[in-house]
Amino acid sequence: VRGINKKNKVILMVSVTGLGGFREVGRSAVLVEGKDNLLLDYGLDVQNMGVPTKPNLKLEGAFLSHAHLDHCGILPELYMRGFLGSVYATPATLGLCKLLLEDSLKVQEKRGIKSHFGPHDIEKLEELSQPMGFGKKIQFKNSEVTLFSAGHVPGAASILVETEGKRILYTGDIKFSETELMKRAFDDFRDIDLLICESTYTKKDHPDRGQLKKELLRHVSDVCSNNGIALLPCFAVGRSQEMIQILSELDVPLYLDGMGKKATSIILEHPESLRDPKKLKKAFGKARKIKKHWERFRLLGKPGVVVTTAGMLNGGPISHYIKKLHKKENCSLYISGYQVSGTVGNVLQSTGRYVNEGLDVKPKMQVLFRDWSAHCDRTEILGFIKKISPKKIIFNHGDSCGEFAREVSGMGFEAIAPKNGEKTEV
Ligand SMILES: [Zn+2]
């Protein structure tokens, strides 16, 4: 990206463009253009199968903030189109990314959706990817990149790009407060020229996690002492681990089913972002892993608690359990994650009906929705911005980026919410 100033002298510029995930949630992808072109995340809008715009220029490298599909879901497509560079991420993120991509490909196949890449491209990604620890710099010809822990899910990182005298910080998904599972995000940044900040929650604060934990433990104890089973549909990465870690404090049978099993093994191999890896290891040891289908039938007769995928009830073993237990008043379904519009979980939340795989019922089991968000809330975002006081802010990854940018501008910051495809000069 080169411009010519009035004296006809060539000047250099750095710019940032959202290829996806600007003024929306899903398919996150940011292109940093300068002497080096860098891609930050390359995700899939899982619900609508939407993909980002293709970065049609030579990339020096691609960086991945964390292993959720809305950030990594389309990365192998780069290799399908002949990308020969590396994808850089923390070791935990790379391990989890492979697991989720392989699963995503299987799900797409099963649903008859034509995928944007094949198994071979996932292999290529694995082969060429470069693990990077937190705080370690990677050097390109004209830029340096560093990852900082982001507190969102295991392995999650914020990405600092330093290029041509500019410092660009991309938060990725970030959480500034500690959870049962995760350490809090690193937030001590200085001299940031451009902050690209997620804005999933700009209108409200999350409930107190200590209170949520107390209530959950009481709820599961009550269900079990009433001879029932508590079902906890959870995302494989992050929430499954947090839940087994908390529930292992109870003296009731604890089961772990679905992709959370494999994800937990990978996370325990790379524990750098965990608050208490020993506790997670102990909880994982204590949880009975459900591997065969008949084991699911066997556990139904006795009280207990089941942590399983899918977090939004679309697919995964959870549908088996709901089918068997929805008529039982002494059982419960405890939903802890955000339910994206159009998912089975979202329909249940807004209509009270469970509609999935030929079933359309009003469950007799207790159904609870609680906010255990792995994102920062309004107070935390504002606190972060005031702390690091960046020269310019782009809000992305949110449903009200524009509105929030106007509000933050009113506080004296230069804040914007460009559309996808709109170039911002740094
Ligand atoms: Zn995420």
CA of 325 to the centre of ligand 1 (A): 30
Amino acid identity, position 253? P
Residue pair 228/321 in contact (Cβ under 8 Å)? The answer is no
Q: Which of 69, 81, 89 is nearest to 133 (CA)?
A: 89
**Strand bridging mode 38-42 / 61-63:** parallel
CA of 246 to the centre of ligand 1 (A): 21
Q: What is the pLDDT of residue 272?
A: 92
CA of 2 to the centre of ligand 1 (A): 34
266 membership: H or E segment, kind and range = helix 260-269
CA of 355 to the centre of ligand 1 (A): 26
3-state secondary structure 174-186: CCCCCCCCECCCC
CA of 372 to the centre of ligand 1 (A): 13
CA of 68 to the centre of ligand 1 (A): 5
| Statement: the pTM of the whole predicted model exceeds 0.85 | yes
Q: What is the pLDDT of residue 47?
A: 86
Tell me the three state secondary structure of residue 229: strand
At 69, list the tokens: 């599909």
310 preceded by a cis bond (ω within 30 of 0)? yes
Give dist(CA 280, CA 267) in Å, integer.
10
Q: What is the pLDDT of residue 3?
A: 53
CA of 26 to the centre of ligand 1 (A): 9
Give dist(CA 299, CA 230) in Å, integer.
12
- Angle of the 260-269 helix axis to the 91-110 helix axis, nearest 10: 160
CA of 40 to the centre of ligand 1 (A): 14
At 311, list the tokens: 């977090």
CA of 152 to the centre of ligand 1 (A): 7
Tell me the three state secondary structure of residue 303: coil
CA of 314 to the centre of ligand 1 (A): 17
CB atoms near residue 164 (< 10 Å): 13
CA of 365 to the centre of ligand 1 (A): 30
CA of 100 to the centre of ligand 1 (A): 13
- Angle of the 239-247 helix axis to the 260-269 helix axis, nearest 10: 90
CA of 414 to the centre of ligand 1 (A): 26
CA of 327 to the centre of ligand 1 (A): 33
CA of 66 to the centre of ligand 1 (A): 7
In tens digits, what is the pLDDT along the chain, a chain of 426 residues?
Answer: 455 555 555 556 999 999 999 999 999 999 999 999 999 999 999 989 999 999 989 999 999 999 999 999 999 999 999 999 999 999 999 999 999 999 999 999 998 999 999 999 999 999 999 999 999 999 999 999 999 999 999 999 999 999 999 999 999 999 999 999 999 999 999 999 999 999 999 999 999 999 999 999 999 999 999 999 999 999 999 999 999 999 999 999 999 999 999 999 999 999 999 999 999 999 999 999 999 999 999 999 899 999 999 999 998 999 999 999 999 999 999 999 999 889 999 999 999 999 999 999 999 999 999 999 999 999 999 999 999 999 999 999 999 999 999 999 999 999 999 999 999 999
Q: What is the pLDDT of residue 1?
A: 42
CA of 122 to the centre of ligand 1 (A): 20
Helices and strands, counts by H and E, the chain? 13, 24
Residue pair 101/122 in contact (Cβ under 8 Å)? The answer is yes
CA of 197 to the centre of ligand 1 (A): 13
Q: What is the pLDDT of residue 10?
A: 55
At which residue do the structure tokens 């019922």 appear? 361
CA of 364 to the centre of ligand 1 (A): 32
CA of 223 to the centre of ligand 1 (A): 31
Give dist(CA 304, CA 314) in Å, integer.
23
Torsion sign, CA atoms 96, 176, 207, 26: negative
Distances (CA, A) of 193 to 147, 170, 414: 17, 11, 11
- Tell me the residue length of the chain: 426
